[in-house]
């Protein structure tokens, strides 16, 4: 299984104009490049909230075993992972590595195992075989969850409980506060996260009054409030209006530029394509491609293509991931 040794190396090695992925791994893509990630773990843990590129620029490694050595170690390591849901085997011995500063997209059709894979990484779905490590620590012993931000598939952010945007986003800070009274830095981090997703004017509004795209922005702000080093997102663009897609892409671009490591599940690359270092395609619980993001085909390669349409399995050349 080919993987990169760092997000920077992945970006240097990538050649979108000439790279050819298997036909079965084709996806919707855009164009563009992304800035290299910067910033050490020490810098990031001392920061109060969401990462800014200007806050992490200029960080250098000091000695063997220090920040440089830590950056070489995978942030996420999955080896031979198998998992079942009920009587159905969903993951069939997959390998997955995400290095520091890298942005990796899990692609595949519905039921291919994408969401199960990321839920296994955060411990929500137990493995029946294989092993997972986060920041070089076996998952069964990992406790530093403040370093990990998770955005689930979109649901009603308040889960039926009346809550404001500010209250929901503040709940994402609990991993840092350990339930102590929020400090000035905590409040600033929450406010910054809300501003990053463009909801400062809705902070006091109930999430029940928001659109689906705004709900998704609230969930992302909640994950960013803790200032995570690793951001895991499950279908962040699914069912989101185009205006919210642009805001979410800009928000993620800011985090990536600051050095945040990102693992995200996507059905299509869409506006996030310029940020992606590597794509891992799943089919029937197996990895069928691990490398440069697949190339778009048919209407999905056209400029201005609308990425919010439903997917049709009967159009294999247009929605290649569904074949």
What's the whole-model pTM score?
0.73
Question: 95 lies in which domain range?
Answer: 7-16+24-59+69-288
Asked if the structure places residue 300 within a domain, the reply is no
Sheet holding 74-85, edge to edge: 88-99, 74-85, 129-134, 137-138
CA–centroid distance for 303 within its chain: 25
What integer best gives the mean pLDDT of the chain?
77
Write out pLDDT tens, residues 39-61.
433 333 334 467 555 444 444 34
Structural domain includes residue 184: yes
Residue of higher predicted confidence among 192 and 308: 192
Q: Looking at the domain assignment, is residue 298 inside a domain? A: no
Is residue 156 in a domain?
Answer: yes
51: CB partners within 8 A, 6+ apart: 39, 44, 227, 254, 255, 258, 259, 260
Residue 189 lies in a domain: yes
The span from the CA of 107 to the CA of 265, in Å, is: 6
On whether residue 217 sits in a domain, the answer given is: yes
| Cβ contact 4:14 at 8 Å | no
Is residue 304 pLDDT above 90, yes or no?
no
Residue whose C-alpha is closest to residue 301's, from 312, 322, 317: 317
233 - beta bridge partners?
151, 264
pLDDT digits (tens, 9 = 90+) for 79-97: 999 999 999 999 999 999 9
Structural domains counted in the chain:
1
* Residue 174 covered by a domain: yes
CATH number at residue 231: 3.40.50.300
Q: Within a domain: residue 170?
A: yes
pLDDT tens figures, 155-188: 655 556 689 999 999 999 988 877 788 899 999 9
Q: Is the pLDDT of residue 253 over 60?
A: yes
């Amino acid at each position: 299984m080919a993987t990169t040794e760092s997000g920077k190396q992945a970006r240097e090695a990538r050649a979108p104009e000439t790279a050819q992925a298997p036909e079965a791994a084709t996806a919707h893509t855009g164009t563009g490049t992304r800035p290299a990630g910067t910033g050490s773990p020490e810098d990031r843990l001392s920061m109060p909230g969401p990462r800014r590129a200007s806050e992490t620029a200029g960080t250098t490694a000091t000695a063997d075993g220090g920040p440089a050595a830590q950056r070489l170690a995978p942030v996420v390591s999955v080896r031979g992972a198998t998992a079942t849901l009920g009587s159905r085997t969903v993951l069939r011995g997959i390998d997955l590595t995400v290095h520091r500063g890298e942005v990796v997209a899990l692609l595949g059709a519905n039921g291919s195992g994408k969401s199960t894979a990321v839920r296994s990484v955060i411990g929500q779905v137990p493995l029946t075989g294989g092993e997972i490590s986060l920041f070089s620590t076996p998952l069964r012993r990992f406790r530093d969850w403040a370093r990990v931000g998770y955005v689930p598939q979109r649901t009603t952010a308040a889960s039926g409980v009346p809550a404001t945007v500010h209250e929901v986003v503040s709940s994402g800070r609990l991993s840092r506060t350990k339930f102590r009274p929020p400090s000035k830095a905590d409040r600033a981090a929450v406010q910054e996260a809300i501003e990053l997703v463009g909801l400062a004017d809705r902070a006091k509004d109930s999430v029940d009054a928001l659109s689906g795209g705004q709900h998704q922005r609230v969930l992302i702000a909640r994950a960013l409030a803790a200032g995570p080093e690793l951001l895991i997102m499950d279908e962040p663009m699914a069912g989101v209006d185009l205006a919210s897609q642009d805001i979410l892409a800009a928000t993620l671009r800011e985090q990536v530029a600051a050095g945040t490591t990102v693992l995200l599940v996507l059905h299509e690359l869409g506006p996030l394509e310029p940020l992606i270092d590597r794509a891992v395609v799943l089919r029937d619980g197996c990895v069928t491609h691990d490398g440069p993001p697949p190339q778009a085909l048919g209407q999905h390669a056209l400029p201005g293509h609308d990425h919010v349409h439903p997917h049709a399995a009967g159009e294999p050349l247009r929605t290649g991931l569904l074949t």
